[in-house]
Amino acid sequence: MKITDEIWEVIKDNDKKLDNKLWYGVATTKIFCRPSCVSRLPKRENVSLFDSPNQAQNEGYRPCKRCRPMDRIVPNEVWIEEIDAILNEHYDEALSLEELGYRLHGSSSYLRHVYKKIKGITPQQQLMTIRLEKAKVNLLTSNDSISEIAQRVGMANTPYFIKVFRQHYGSSPNHYRKKYKK
């Protein structure tokens, strides 16, 4: 199905008139929605249309948490897995709560609330843990500078990286490297 100007207007206006007639997926997030979904408007060139939710799923898209295109609630546990998958794959990018909310089609405050309720920590805390663990591996397996490693794990601010590393592991990155690198 080709996306016409008329359909694009419906998606842009969160109009309900095409709900249950067609669904759209966003290539960059691999999430599909009802035309009326209030999530942030995707770029038109990233949008594909589907005749049914099943078609969207068959093409590898996941139902949006917000507009529930399958008429089913996406279980929180499934949503958490999706959040973790994004954190694990994209930890080196600027992943603010707002950005996570955008990628997962939920409000950022609700996303934080659900994540904390189920995992006991916030998404940002989990992201920090992933970054520090990756940094540790980098320290032990490369000779790259601390600032290069900080940058690589998504923490461009080196002094801040050193401070947080020390808080977590009780020694500076340099000291940690001297102690454990063979």
Residue ranges that bind Zn ion, judged by CB under 5 A: 33, 37, 39, 64, 66-67, 105
Q: How many helices (H) and strands (E) does the chain have?
A: 9, 4
Burial environment of residue 180 by CB neighbours within 10 A (0 to 12, 13 to 18, 19 or more): exposed
Smallest distance, Zn ion to C-beta of residue 164, A: 35
C-alpha–C-alpha distance, residues 58 and 45, integer Å: 20
67 annotated active-site: no
The CB-of-73 to Zn ion minimum distance in angstroms stands at 13
* Cβ contact 107:98 at 8 Å: no
Nearer to Zn ion, 33 or 83 (CB): 33
Task: Identify which of residues 64 and 87 has a Cβ nearer to Zn ion in the complex.
Answer: 64
Helix 108-119 / helix 97-104 crossing angle, nearest 10 deg? 90
Q: Which residue number, 68 or 152, has a Cβ lying nearer to Zn ion?
A: 68
Q: How many CB atoms sit inside 10 A of residue 85's CB?
A: 10
Residue 19 CB, shortest distance to Zn ion, in Å, is 11
Catalytic positions, written as ranges: 33
